[in-house]
Structure 1
Amino acid sequence: MMDINTQTAFEANIPSAATRYKENLRKNWYKFSRNKLSVIGLVIVLAVVVVAVFAPYVAPFPEHAGSFVDYEHANLAPSTTYLLGTDNIGRDILSRIFFAFRGALYMAFLVLVISLPVGVILGLLAGYFKGTWIDTVIMRTTDIFLAVPPLILALAISSVLKPNLTNAMIAVTVMWWPWYTRLVYGMATSMRNEYFVTAAELIGAGKFHILFREILPNCLSPIFTKMALDVGWVILLGAALSFVGLGEQPPTPALGQMVSDGSRYMPDLWWMTIFPSLAIIIIILGFNLLGDGIRDMLAKGEHDRG
């Protein structure tokens, strides 16, 4: 048995929780920062979020995001006053893009907040109870939704609802949860017979504990990666809906709607279409690069093996 001095010295060498947290944070950042493209993606995402949150303060002409008309300055090419030019009724393109970021991020956030828990819970249940009626009902329903192309399903749902941002989010959410169900189902199926799950069952752990304390933590890495990648896809799908008039309605700016409005004046007034299109590309690129960085960061043991 250790004496008091030996035990005290042993305990002193055990790092505190705060120290372990800082060390893990440092290691994770090192893994993430090894990929310079991921850092660029993080910068892009942070810049878009900051611009969206503080749009009324950073936009050159915040009043142009609403019902504003100034025909005297309509159809102006990019200049020092209007960096990205103006549209056909005199509104600043840059200011409207800043405010359009708000709707795009808001839609992506709510879609994932709703579809993620639904998809994850259904995937856990189907994977753990594989071979039962629970598995059959959940996965056959999932297969039905996955059999329909996402954009077609979203367009069909949006077309029967009143065109606005809320109904566009409902349409995207309805067709987004099956992807998380399928992802988690595959991982839960492979883990249901692992030793740590069997051990939890043998000591009498409940189903809730096994699903959410044993299986789910081991699924978080691919879920977080998919979340980051999905933000870009949701924004792209929302832009497609607004492009055809089924998303945010005027005068509220939406990236897809701005591209659609400007396409009627191509190629003469090219800036009305090109710059909103570039904004969509940049925000999607940022989240895709960020997702790649998160995947590399959460890859267990990759750095140690290197």
Structure 2
Amino acid sequence: MSSPRDRDRDGFDDGAGGQWQEPAHLGGDTPGGGEPGPAAPRPDGDRTDGPGDDRSGSQAWQPPGWDLPAVQPDRPAASGPPPSSPPPSTPPAQTPPPAPRDEPAWRPPEADQGQSDAPPREQAERPRRGLSGLFGGGRSRPSGDAGTGNRDAQPDPAAAEDPYGTQLWAQQFGWVLSDGTAPEDEPLGALVRSAPVRPGKEDQASRVVRGRGNGLDLVAFDIVSPVGRGFVSTHGVTAAPVLGAVPAFRLSPARMWRHGTGGMLQIPSPDPEFDRRWVLLAAEDGPQVRRIAEDPLVRQSLLGSDDGDEIWSAAGFVAAIRPDANRPQLIEHHARLLAAVVGALAAAA
């Protein structure tokens, strides 16, 4: 049991301990409604002098660095000494300086910027280099031609008639153009009718170009078929005229369906891989057609292709054909195949 002396010693007696109050760092008032007492000492030895020393208006103790730094406006500091203010209890956090509001746009150094002595108009009208290929380097074409990149030029109607630039490409190498109705184009009609693709009765040769490449005289043209009021290119043909008698033969990919051999004989080759992919048919067996199957350059050229062409002989020509219209790359491809086949025929003659 406690005695009155113990109560007087602990200060819990109503009469003797009437002046007791709750510690200031707990933020409470005296039970009797008196004024708050002095603030409790902080662990670091500092004391709170009064309500004005705490930003939040509370006398509760906070560890150093607990408060956020004061908000600083984005404006330059005024000249002169800053107004006197009580030192903060903790040093404010370092904040980066505000970025300038009106910053000029970045531009590369003058040394990095490409300079040109020609005005922009002249740069737009500079001619491109011509298409180069198997038959030699390309030549520049004037700025007035179609495809120079001049935005102010009007659409050229000839571009619609030459969608792949075959005629323009041929002109750069000095080839001669024709519409298929010239006197020298008359043999092409017989070549079209003998094609292994069985063209229609009204199909004809058009968009003819003549020139020389790979050591051969070449003629390239489209087989066109009438559709409505116009014509549509169905096949591209490149042919080389040959001198002397050439046996009738047909060299076709094995994956293509043949419309009938017409009594032609199949000529085997010494290469099983070649016989698996290609079929050589001839009207009669002989040293010339045997030479085609045995020539290593012919087999190498055909085995290196995509098996999409057919080669045949008729009307004094050796020709190669592929579906779709002619284009510069196709003419070059056919020229390589024809050079190998014509070379084999000449070696066996």
TM-score w.r.t. the length of structure 1 is 0.23
Highest relative contact order (Cα 8 Å, sep 6+), 1 or 2? 1
Identify, as 1 or 2, the structure richer in helix: 1
Higher-Rg member (1/2) = 2
TM-score w.r.t. the length of structure 2 is 0.21
